[in-house]
């Protein structure tokens, strides 16, 4: 741990950006890395996941005095105190297949709230960063806040699914969302990377993103970005997003309301009958 831990967000953001920049070359070199560690059904890590998490975590702890909770090696609890949250390779299936839509995600969380968000997409040459309150920076340049929008005009990022899968949010429910969503927006996109879906939402490339995953290392950085951009972030039930939420619904103002109404209708078919 550093002798003089950094407390100010601008300095923390600058240091974190430097550390991710230093790791970016290795990230690009490793594109196409094969599976090395099986973590469960349809989930794995590459050797580069492990290498990058060690390298970035060590740099952050040394230079900021703040512990890191990483996807591969875990770390401190996140509901209280201050910690970095790191996903060294988001979109691992994409990355291992040589697909360019993958990146590094890093957030600083204080008492369960992300106050810094960084999404580095080295293969695309894009670096998204923000402090609480904004603005969102793309390659160091501030982006305009998100204007209100309409779902009919928006592209929507949609989480991957297997229609036969069980779990917290079953594949059948995810499948049942696609039909109504396609009627309201014919521009549904499935990128295979939560970080990209949320960063593109913060930048206004996407009008919104529906995220079925609950892992904080997947979601915290992007939530920070969307909030800093002036977007709306809840879970799929419309409750305010927290570090323990089981899903993410992030969108521009206006678009979020329409998405939430659609999701609630699918979750409760009687709503459609009453309307």
Annotated binding-site residues read: 71, 87, 89-90, 218
| Look-up of token digits 């923000």 | 130
Angle between helices 255-267 and 171-184 (to 10 degrees): 130
Q: Which tokens go with 43?
A: 């989930």
Phi and psi at residue 189, to the nearest 5°: -125, 135
Q: Annotated binding residues for Mg(2+), as ranges?
A: 71, 87, 89-90, 218
Angstrom distances, CA of residue 88 to CA of 60, 118, 191: 13, 12, 18
Is there a contact between 103 and 120 (Cβ–Cβ < 8 Å)? yes
Which helix (H) or strand (E) is 188 found in, with range? strand 188-189
- Rounded Cα distance between 20 and 113, Å, is 21
- Rounded Cα distance between 184 and 1, Å, is 51
- Rounded Cα distance between 65 and 1, Å, is 5
- Rounded Cα distance between 69 and 108, Å, is 10
**Closest by CA position to 106, among listed 70, 140, 150, 142:** 70
- Rounded Cα distance between 74 and 217, Å, is 10
Query: Rg of the chain's alpha carbons, rounded to an integer?
Result: 18
Beta bridge partners of 47: none
Beta bridge partners of 128: 119, 138
């Amino acid at each position: 741990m550093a002798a003089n831990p950094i407390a100010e967000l601008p300095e923390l953001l600058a240091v974190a950006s430097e550390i991710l920049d230093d790791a970016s070359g290795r990230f690009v070199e490793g594109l196409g890395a094969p599976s090395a560690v099986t973590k469960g059904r349809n989930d794995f890590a590459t050797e580069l996941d492990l290498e990058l998490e060690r390298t970035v975590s060590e740099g952050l702890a040394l230079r900021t005095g703040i512990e890191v909770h990483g996807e591969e090696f875990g770390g401190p609890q996140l509901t209280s105190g201050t910690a970095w949250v790191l996903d060294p390779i988001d979109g691992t299936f994409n990355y291992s297949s040589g697909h360019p839509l993958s990146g590094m995600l890093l957030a600083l969380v204080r008492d369960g709230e992300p106050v810094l968000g960084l999404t580095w997409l080295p293969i695309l040459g894009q670096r998204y960063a923000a402090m609480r309150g904004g603005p969102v920076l793309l390659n160091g340049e501030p982006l305009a806040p998100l204007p209100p929008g309409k779902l009919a005009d928006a592209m929507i990022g949609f989480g991957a699914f297997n229609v036969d899968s069980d779990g917290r949010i079953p594949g059948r429910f995810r499948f049942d969302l696609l039909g109504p969503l396609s009627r309201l927006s014919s521009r549904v996109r499935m990128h295979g990377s939560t970080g990209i879906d949320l960063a593109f939402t913060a930048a206004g490339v996407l009008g919104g993103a529906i995220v079925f995953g609950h892992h904080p290392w997947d979601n915290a950085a992007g939530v920070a970005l969307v909030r800093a951009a002036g977007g709306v972030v809840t879970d799929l039930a419309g409750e305010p997003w927290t570090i323990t939420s089981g899903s993410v619904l992030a969108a521009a103002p206006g678009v979020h309301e329409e998405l939430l109404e659609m999701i609630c209708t699918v979750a409760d078919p009687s709503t459609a009958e009453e309307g």
